[in-house]
Structures are given as C-alpha cells and as structure tokens.
Structure 1
Amino acid sequence: MSGFPQLCHTEVIGTSSLGRELVAFHLASRALHEPTARLLVTAQIHAGEYVAGYVARALVRTLLEEYERDPTVSTLLRRATVTVVPLLNPDGAHFVWQRRGWVGFKGARATANGVDPNRNFPFVSIPGRRAWNSSSSRPWSPYYRGPHPLSEPECLALARLCKRARFCAAVHLHSFGGVTFFPASANPQVAHVLDVFRDVFPAAQRHHRYRPVPEPVSALCGQLDLFLLHAFGTPSATVEVSRPRFALALRPQRWLHFFSWANPPDPERWVENDVPATIRVLGALLERTRGHPLLPEHPEMAEQVPE
C-alpha cells in the first residue's frame, strides 16, 4: 500500500501469541489526527477462513485505487477513516496453511492456544436460551472461550484499538454460508442501524445475496459483535463470505476438509460480490450512525480492556 501514502497509514496494533504482527490499514483522505468518523472492518479471526481475508485485502485495494474515480469511495474516505484489519489470527492461519487445511473443525477456528478468538471477548450473562455454538468452558470444544476474556493477545489488541478509536460501526468478514448475522437488539436505534444488512447490503451484491439472520443476544457469549455493541456502542455484523460448492458433496474425500468448505476456488467472484456491497454498507452505516457510536448498554465492559 506504499503507493498511496496520502490515503493509507499502516499500524501494528499488537502481536499474536507466537509473535506475528497484527496489522491495521487506516484509510482516509485526511490526516489521522484530524477529527473524523471511524469505521472498522475485520477479517479472518478464524484461522481457516482465508477467503474472508482475501476479500478484506481487496477492499483495501479498491478503496485506494478508486478514490477520486468512484464517487461513493471518494465520499466515504472524505467523511470517515476506514480501518481494515485483514488477518486477526495469523498463528492459526499459518498452522492451517502448513497442514494444507487438514486441521479439523477446531483447528480451523482456533488460535495457537486452542481458543476460539470469536468467543474470547468480554460478555455479560443475558437471560434466554443459549445457542449450541454460543461458547464453552471446555478446552476441547471448537467454541472454547479461553481461561478468561481477552486471554488471547490478538483479541486484546483489537479490543484496545476499539477502545481507543470508538468506531461508529463495524463489519466482520468470515466464511462460509452466504448469510449475515447481527444481534437482534430490542433497541430501536440499534435495529435501525443494523437494518442496512437487510436492505442496502444484499441489494448491492452482484452474484449472490446473503440472507440476513438476526441472532438472539442471549446466544452471543464472547462474540465480537455483541462486545462492541455493549462496551462501546458500536453496531456491527458478521458477514459469512461465499457459499459452499455443490461439487463438494460429490467428493467424499473432502467432506472433512474444512478448508475446502470455507474457501471457494474462485475468490475473485466473491470479491466482485462483496467488496462493492461492503463499501455501500459502510456508507449507509456512516449515515445512520451520523458518524458516532451509539450509547453503550454496558459501558463498564470497556473497563475490562487494559490500556
């Protein structure tokens, strides 16, 4: 990204358990120290979801290359700083790559410590039915939430970034499934913001429209979406990039190869499908939040994030 010094600033926000850097790209048409709304895009928090990181990096390229060419991109970068963290789990990603994807379901999600990083964020206990994949205190579970919230340095680094930046909204890229998950909040202001994933986002997708799936907040134990909303007032959604190929059903030898399910052979098709839609939805989120985070429901959770 060195060809765009006026638009892109890179920052190492932390390191992984094994010492790999966690890099954030801050994209804006103005200097970072100037007051501006802030939007966040994260990707590949789960080790094997390579296509999510691929789409995130393509988003960075598109925002840089289309500035002053595409009015939507130009307006977005003039009004906001878009921060993209395209690889949140570098240790897990390296392990998956070394093993050519043969890591099992837990290995395709976990950090180097065997923790599901998207269950490692602080949470408050909410009455209601838990989902089968909410989180687990059992270390052998693929949804193991770790010994304590923010035990994973990757999650701690992201939480510190969010505490500092106070993003007005966020999008988290995962794979696969072709759906968009977001908290089913009873707060009408939150619901109004997140409704962009019911209309704006799918309407802008070129090949495949993702189905919006509101999730009961009682089911979201330790997940990034609800942590950002509760601690910082940052509404966000989880976008499951791509759809599994029907051809996989005809290849029994690949049924247990999670990498094949999570990563399509044609990632550029999903770049075409999801990058323009993500740019559109970032603009819509900026409009509906007016560039400011909402009132957090549990601001005390932010105190669990050390400086």
Structure 2
Amino acid sequence: MSLADSASLAPYPDPDTREHELDDLAASLGGEIVEYGRSREDRPLRALRLPSAGPAILCSANIHGIEYIASRVALGLLHGLCAGDPELQRLRARAELWVIPSINPDGYARTWAARGQGRLADMRANAAGVDLNRNFPRPGGAAPSRLPGAGSDRPGDATYRGPAPLSEPETAALDRLFAARRFHASVNLHSFMGTVIPARVSEREAYARYRELARVLAHAQPRVRYRRLAHRIFDTFTGEQEDHQHHAFGTWAVCLETFSLRASYTQHLRRPSVFWRFNPRDPAAWIANDVPGITAYFHAALELPPPPAASRRALPPGP
C-alpha cells in the first residue's frame, strides 16, 4: 500500500461533495432542505425532509465526525428511494421521512482535513472537543456513569460530555427539532460494532417492543444480522441521543452501529489507521445490508402507538 493510498479516504466524499449530493437527492425526490441550526464552526446543520401526511420519522447519522459510513448509509435510504425500492416507496407513502446525513459537520471536515490520521478524540468530537452523543440530558436526572465509554468530565477525552447537557449548538439544535417535529421513530447511525442499541427503558412493555423492533431490523438484513445490545437492569444513561428522544419526546429510538466488529478488525489489520477501523473500504456492501433493516424497523415502529407514558417517567439513576 502506497503512502498516497494510505492518506486517501476514497471512496468517501469530501464535505462539499456530500452537501451537493444531498441537494441533488432533494431535487430528485421533490424534498425540502431544512437548515435546523448552525454548528460550532458555523456550518449549516441540514436535513432533507420528504413531506407526507403521515407521522414524522428520522434517520440521522455522523454524530461522531470520523464515522463516515454512517452518513453513507443514511444517504443510501434516499438513493434507494430514487432507485424505486418498493419498501422505501411504501415507507414514504406512510410517513414524513427526515434524513440528516451529518449531525457533526465540523468533525467530518476535521477528519477529512487530517486524512483520517491522528487522535480519535480530535475526529470524533465537535469543534469544542465535545462528544455530542454524551451531551444530551440524562433522563430523570440520572447521575453520570463511571463505566468505561459512558462519558468523561475531562476535556480532551474521546467521550468528553461537555460542560453541561445541550451545551453544544449541534445538540441544542437537534433538541429544538425534536420538540418541533415529535418524531414517531428514529434511527441514529454509528459505526463499527454491528449492533442495535435501543433507548434504555425499564418498563416491561416498552422493553419487549424494542426487542421486537430489533428482531425485525435484523431479520431484514440480507448478509450480516446485528445483535441487540440492551438490559433492563444493567444499562445506564450516558447522555445519548436515543435515550433523550425516547424519554423526553416519546420517540421509538435506536442507535444502529453499522459495519461489524469482526469486519472492522479484519480490515484494520490490512489498513492500520483510526479511520479504517471505523469505516469499511467498500461502503456499498454495508449500505445494501443495512438499508433494508432500517426500512423494516420504521415500518414496524409505525404499527406501534408512541411509547407509553410509563416508560417516559423519570427513571432511577443507572449503575
């Protein structure tokens, strides 16, 4: 592998190309580009909205700047619509679809400028060094968890949660969007664990419904089926998006970690860099694997009423 090849992030697009791609998809699908806020470095926070009389659903991605594959899978939903995928066409008829390809455009741009080389914390976080997926309010005022990866109070750490919940313009803008739209269901795309992580709930009925939603998602994946990662007792609140959406806004919300752990480590041995640990060399294979699962998840969630009020009450602090 040449030095030039190791510094290239192909086939992933640069930030401007990604934004032009979203504009082109909006034009092809008759959608509306919604600027719902501005980033810490004043980049536009953009969503594509496909109007419908049905309930609103959201597919968002790239809350961690280095996780480019998440953005590709989110855009893959829209490309599937353009290609006439029948299940996606049926979904569009049932619901108002919102797609946010990059929640963290500053982190995406920083990763691109560094060619994926450097500290994970610098490419994962926003421009203030905050892990945006640890910056949401913890339901019920839960105390911070001491578990590894659950969030850090120390600036410079890869999971630094920031000075206060919603301290960052990116999370504050999302919070306003959640309040305005009241999404019925949501998928927030990450990499690279190959898992489905539902919102943390202790109420039995909501837990069972998330188990079924995760089963439906995995069953629709044609190649690699992701396992559900959840526990009614030992899960903890870490300031993540799916927990905030479920408990504050009554949304069926999951984190989907695209690209399997096994595939990541196999590839990383051949392409040793932080970037290629998180992103597959062939994104098309994972788009084809995950878009059917996400589509099936949304169809199943639309059959459910919103999460019951009991599951949105203040829960006891996690471990």
Could you state the TM-score of these two structures normalised by the residue count of structure 1? 0.86
- Partner Cα distance (2:181, 2:280) in 1: 33
CA separation of 1:77 and 1:294: change in aligned 2, threshold 3 A = farther
CA contact (8 A) 1:118 1:222 kept: yes
The CA deviation at 1:90 is: 0.3
- 1:19 pairs with one of 42, 48, 53: 42
CA contact (8 A) 1:232 1:293 kept: no
The CA deviation at 1:184 is: 4.3
1:113 and 2:128 are equivalent in the alignment: yes
- 2:80 pairs with one of 51, 55, 62: 62
CA separation of 1:62 and 1:246: change in aligned 2, threshold 3 A = same
State the secondary structure of the residue aligned to 1:147.
coil
1:172 alignment partner AA: N
The CA deviation at 1:45 is: 0.2
- Partner Cα distance (1:250, 1:9) in 2: 41
1:151 and 2:171 are equivalent in the alignment: no
CA contact (8 A) 1:170 1:236 kept: yes
CA RMSD, aligned part only? Answer: 2.1
1:42 and 2:60 are equivalent in the alignment: yes
| Matched ranges for 1:238-249 at <5 A | 238-243=255-260, 244-249=264-269
- Partner Cα distance (1:92, 1:127) in 2: 27
The CA deviation at 1:108 is: 2.7
1:10 and 2:33 are equivalent in the alignment: yes
The CA deviation at 1:277 is: 1.3
Choose between structure 1 and 2: higher helix proportion.
2
- Partner Cα distance (2:129, 2:28) in 1: 38
- Partner Cα distance (2:176, 2:191) in 1: 25
Deviations 1:184-225 (A, max 9, x none): 422133223312343111111111111111155752221111
CA separation of 1:49 and 1:104: change in aligned 2, threshold 3 A = same
CA contact (8 A) 1:108 1:258 kept: no
What's the counterpart of residue 283 of structure 1? 299
1:17 alignment partner AA: R
The CA deviation at 1:61 is: 1.9
1:236 and 2:253 are equivalent in the alignment: yes
State the secondary structure of the residue aligned to 1:122.
coil
The CA deviation at 1:103 is: 2.7
- Partner Cα distance (2:286, 2:42) in 1: 31
1:98 alignment partner AA: A
| Matched ranges for 1:1-307 at <5 A | 1=25, 2-5=27-30, 8-28=31-51, 30=52, 34=53, 36-66=54-84, 70=86, 72-123=87-138, 124-126=140-142, 130-215=146-231, 219-243=236-260, 244-249=264-269, 254=272, 257-289=273-305, 292=306, 294-295=308-309, 297-298=312-313
The CA deviation at 1:58 is: 1.0
The CA deviation at 1:127 is: 7.0
The CA deviation at 1:130 is: 4.4
CA contact (8 A) 1:171 1:236 kept: yes
- Partner Cα distance (1:222, 1:184) in 2: 11
Alignment length, in residue pairs? 283
CA separation of 1:247 and 1:190: change in aligned 2, threshold 3 A = same
1:50 alignment partner AA: Y
CA contact (8 A) 1:38 1:166 kept: yes
- Partner Cα distance (1:129, 1:139) in 2: 17
CA contact (8 A) 2:144 2:238 kept: no
The CA deviation at 1:177 is: 1.4
The CA deviation at 1:105 is: 1.8
Deviations 1:240-270 (A, max 9, x none): 111204142356xx1xx22110011000000
The CA deviation at 1:64 is: 4.0
- Please list every run of at least 4 consecutive aligned residues from structure 1 whose deviation after the TM superposition is greater than 6 angstroms: none
Please, which runs of 5 or more residues in structure 1 have no aligned partner? Answer: 300-307
- Partner Cα distance (2:69, 2:270) in 1: 22
1:165 alignment partner AA: R
CA contact (8 A) 1:44 1:50 kept: yes
What's the counterpart of residue 305 of structure 1? none
- Partner Cα distance (2:157, 2:253) in 1: 26
Identity of aligned residues (%): 34
2:60 alignment partner AA: T
CA separation of 1:91 and 1:177: change in aligned 2, threshold 3 A = same
- Partner Cα distance (1:221, 1:129) in 2: 7
